[in-house]
Amino acid sequence: MLKKGVIGTIAVILIIGAIGMASAGFYFYEYFVFKTLKICVTEESVDSEMACSVQTDCLEEISEYKSTEEFEELPSFIKQKLDEGISKVITCDETCKVKEVYTNFYGEDVREFESCAEGEEEISIEIRGKEGLQLLTYLKNKKH
């Protein structure tokens, strides 16, 4: 009789532990932000010397890149943020202009900062477990 009680108690503890671990895994996969990548779009821009009358003229040139295999292989959350960022970075003022950007994660001008300077637009990419796995899969496939 005593053995049944001990085995039952151990079984309950193991079930509660398994449920706890599954809940923690779900939380880290869906909600916990491991890193926030930030892109700051400055007011300074470089003139591409390509004539335009509206911003769409400039964005059409970018659409060719979007149809490449390289772009298609990117994780979906990165493609979404690229679309958002491109419309903020590329402007039309008689010629297409590309605003300068800096980040806290990539490029020659990597900086550590809490937020962008006043007057700059910020694009944030929150990396949760789900996005982290997509990114790792992309990088792993990129090596091959």
pLDDT confidence of 131, banded at 50, 70, 90? very high
Q: What is the pLDDT of residue 39?
A: 87
3-state secondary structure of 18: helix
Write the CB contacts of 44 (distance below 8 Å, at least 6 apart in sequence). Answer: 99, 100
Q: What is the pLDDT of residue 26?
A: 93
Mean per-residue pLDDT for 13-17?
A: 93
What torsion do the CA atoms of 130, 134, 136, 142 make, to the nearest 10 degrees? Answer: 180
- 0.85 cut: is pTM over it? no
Mean per-residue pLDDT for 125-136?
A: 90
Q: What is the pLDDT of residue 58?
A: 86
pLDDT confidence of 21, banded at 50, 70, 90? very high
Instruction: Return mean pLDDT, the chain.
Output: 84
User: Helix 129-143 crosses helix 76-89 at what angle (to 10 degrees)?
Assistant: 90
3-state secondary structure of 38: strand
Mean per-residue pLDDT for 83-111?
A: 82
Cα 105 to Cα 99: distance, rounded to the nearest angstrom? 18
Mean per-residue pLDDT for 28-34?
A: 92
Write the CB contacts of 71 (distance below 8 Å, at least 6 apart in sequence). Answer: 65, 79
